[in-house]
Amino acid sequence: MLRKNPKSKKLSAAGTFAIVASRYNSQFVDAMLRAAKAELLRAGAKVQVVRVPGAYEIPVVAVKLARQSCPRLSAIICLGVILRGQTVHAAHIGDAVSRALMDIQLATEVPVIHEVLLLENAEQARVRCLDRKHNRGTEAAQTALEMARVMSELRCDDIPF
């Protein structure tokens, strides 16, 4: 259950959120994780963090979390950084993770927030992960809060058809 805080424009939350974060490229992922967790805690949410070795391992943990019933999660945030190299390996990982995360949220109806970033270089990662004004972890948490609110408002008796 999410609600608007009457004293601010920020969302507040009374739910449980999971963050699945890669340990690979930890300098960048850890910064997103700190920002996402802080944003969720500021909103009053409960937060469960699960670390995995790399981006490719994120979907299997996300689907297990999405299928659990106790507690039923309000949303899952997936955080990782994939840096392109000289081969197409990074693109294959990025595509596979993207497809899997979409499939998970469609199959389970738990919002899965995709912040597994496929970036060209470390400079792009610094801008998106280490910059406090534009940290993608903060944005992911805000999206998770909003999607949890939207999903909680979609009840069968509220649909006009």
Residue 146 pLDDT > 80: yes
- pLDDT given at position 160: 61
C-alpha dist (Å) from residue 48 to 66, 69, 118, 122: 12, 14, 24, 28
Tokens 């997103």 sit at which residue?
A: 32
Q: How many CB atoms lie within 10 A of CB 42?
A: 15
Of 134 and 4, the structure prediction assigns the larger pLDDT to: 134
pLDDT the model gives residue 131 = 85
Tokens of 45: 């949410």
Kindly state the tokens that stand for 113: 């927030």
Q: What tens digit of pLDDT does each residue of 3-46 get?
A: 444 444 456 666 899 999 999 999 999 999 999 999 999 999 99
130 to 136, 138, 145: CA distances (angstroms): 9, 11, 22
pLDDT at position 15 is 87
* Residue-range domains of the chain with CATH: 17-149 (3.40.50.960)
* Eight-class DSSP state of 133: T
- Residue 92 annotated among the catalytic residues of the structure: no
Among residues 92, 87, 18, 1, which one has the least CA distance to residue 55?
Answer: 92
* Residues 6 or more apart in contact with residue 123 via CB below 8 angstroms: none
pTM for this entry:
0.88
| Active-site residue, from 89, 92, 114, 134 | 89
Peptide bond into 71 cis (omega under 30): yes
Q: What is the length of the chain?
A: 161
Q: How far apart are CA 23 and CA 52, in angstroms?
A: 6
